[in-house]
A = this chain, B = another copy of it.
């Protein structure tokens, strides 16, 4: 897969230009998206013979495996504000603390695979993390519209959420729309739900 569309707020752009930790985080996410390839290929091929023909979870899994195994990101990081203070709300999907000298940068990432209203919740969860200073950079990933047409019914897409990007424009926020390199009729459909996903243990966040 590759980054086809991208929204980078001014403060996120400033971080990418001036903070090596932010640059490193972005590179790791970029590499993880590039690592989403069809087996035995170096790029991604999506079967485009049927609307909603492919599951989205196998795509997310490939990205997460790279982030967890090669770049040591954690899964399911609870925000202290939500967990301890408000006592409700789920964890951030993927999270990593970057360190260099006396600098620290915490990055939260959500790979959105739900419908459009679920995408609003993901966007807002990262916004709470920024607001409460538990993360310093937020990254939201979703397929672009053209790709989502061939994925699970009602999976939200970049263009659909785009009118709302402006509400996070004052925060260090990056929203990524990814796409497949190739659309074709001779690769298998991606399985839906948990079908065909081999069980693996995730690198769950287990600190406070």
User: Which chain B positions have C-beta within 8 A of A164?
Assistant: 89, 124-125, 127-128
- Interface of A (DSSP majority class): helix
Interface size counted on chain A using CB atoms at 8 A: 27
A40 part of interface (Cβ distance < 8 Å): no
Kindly state the separation between the CA atoms of A18 and B13 in the bound complex, as whole angstroms.
38
A132 part of interface (Cβ distance < 8 Å): yes
User: Which chain B positions have C-beta within 8 A of A169?
Assistant: 131
CB-based contact A128/B166 at 8 Å? yes
CB-based contact A116/B124 at 8 Å? no
A199 part of interface (Cβ distance < 8 Å): no
Bitwise interface map of A from 75 to 97 toward B, beta carbon under 8 Å scored 1, else 0: 00000011000101100000000
Bitwise interface map of A from 98 to 125 toward B, beta carbon under 8 Å scored 1, else 0: 0000000000000000111110110111
